[in-house]
Amino acid sequence: MTSPRTASLHRKTRETDIQLELNLDGEGISSISTGIGFFDHMLELFSKHSLIDLKIEATGDLHVDYHHTVEDVGLALGECIHTALGDRKGITRYGWALLPMDEAMSRVAVDLGGRPVLVYSIDHPAELIRDFPLIVFKEFFKAFSTTGKMNLHIAQLYGEDPHHAFESVFKGLAKAVKMALTIDPRVTGVPSSKGTLTE
């Protein structure tokens, strides 16, 4: 019987206050409240399609900007995934998805190899969904990959509707992460020739 791959975190700064809990081996159940409706929707999709149970309660200085809340949630989520993975023994390590959402398509690839790198390319030219500046998603993914200690490559390839474009990104991220963190019973120890994925 393997230990539960769970983690929780309380992250508080002068700009944000975030409580986050997750279970990597869950059922995709989520309770998300960041004060930013579109962001909540994307995080719910990530939980649903990764099968990671996820609870997030975040308050931030939304009267200033959405940036601090979105980035700090990314930092907290990546850190909790890193903690829940432990020594990363037995994981598949790599994951990828080519994810359609109606007319939009995204490609996402993940390596849970311990090295934080983000490569980010978004085709859609939209700058806003309602009052949400889509550029801040880059900061979310950068923060997520940094504390999650992962290579994260995101390419939003095409699509007319910005909602569909970013929905395909978050669903693609979910499927790639789900694949990468899955335990492979054939893997003995850590899937790395150097013997560690945490340094």
Delimit the domains of the chain by residue range. Answer: 6-181
CA distance 35 to 37: 6
Q: Which two structure tokens, joined as six digits, stand for 109?
A: 């690839």
* Residue 175 backbone phi and psi in degrees, to 5: -70, -35
Q: Which two structure tokens, joined as six digits, stand for 24?
A: 């990597």
Q: Which two structure tokens, joined as six digits, stand for 159?
A: 């699509």
CATH topology of domain 6-181: Ribosomal Protein S5; domain 2 (3.30.230)
CA atoms within 13 A on the CB side of 177: 30
Structure confidence at residue 192 as a pLDDT band (50, 70, 90): low
Which pLDDT score is estimated for 190?
Answer: 67
Tell me the residue type at 85. Answer: L
CA distance 186 to 159: 39
Among candidate residues 173, 172, 159, the one with its CA nearest the CA of residue 104: 159
Q: Is 41 helix (H, G, I), strand (E, B) or coil?
A: helix
CA distance 39 to 52: 17
Structure confidence at residue 2 as a pLDDT band (50, 70, 90): low
pLDDT tens per residue, range 136-172: 999 999 999 999 999 999 999 999 999 999 999 999 9
Cα 165 to Cα 46, 81, 158, 175, distances in angstroms:
14, 25, 7, 16
* Residue 158 backbone phi and psi in degrees, to 5: -170, 170
CA distance 70 to 16: 10
pLDDT tens per residue, range 84-127: 999 999 999 999 999 999 999 999 999 999 999 999 999 999 99
What single-letter DSSP state applies at residue 197? S
Which pLDDT score is estimated for 194?
Answer: 62
Tell me the residue type at 4. Answer: P
